[in-house]
Amino acid sequence: MTIEVQLDLKSGVPFYRQIIDRVKSSIATGELGPGDRLPTVRQLAVDLKINPNTVSRAYTELELTGLVETQMGSGTYVGQVEVEQDDMERRRILDQICQEFLSRASSHGFTLDDILDNLQQRKSR
């Protein structure tokens, strides 16, 4: 099982945090399950074009929470801990998604009213 991580350079969220959030989300949704192997630190750093220390920091934090386990010489694997997103975590993720969306939309010249009108039209379809 592989995980696709994409970093948002404009979100203001540190890269290591984005990696942590992506792994947690993948575990919570079942995209990743116990025993699934994560990309190596080096491979993910190359894929994302970031410093390997950033990936290492994310993996270390995930390991400290028990979500992943590192086996020397073998790799990093999803642990047996189940991830459930509480309301506060879900709200934080939604806020982050909305901020990224609004930032992207405004960079294309759309206003909040444009966005709300479009969402309202989609809702009534």
Tens digits of per-residue pLDDT, 57-81?
999 999 999 999 998 888 999 998 7
- pTM for the model stands at 0.68
* Contact predicate 37/77, CB 8 Å: yes
Where are the domain boundaries for CATH 1.10.10.10 in the chain?
A: 15-78
pLDDT at residue 103 tops 60:
yes
- pLDDT value of residue 85: 63
Q: At what angle do helices 41-48 and 52-64 cross, to 10 degrees?
A: 130
- Token pair, residue 103, equals 């930032």
| Rounded Cα gap, residues 91 and 64, in angstroms | 23
Q: What is the CATH number of domain 15-78?
A: 1.10.10.10
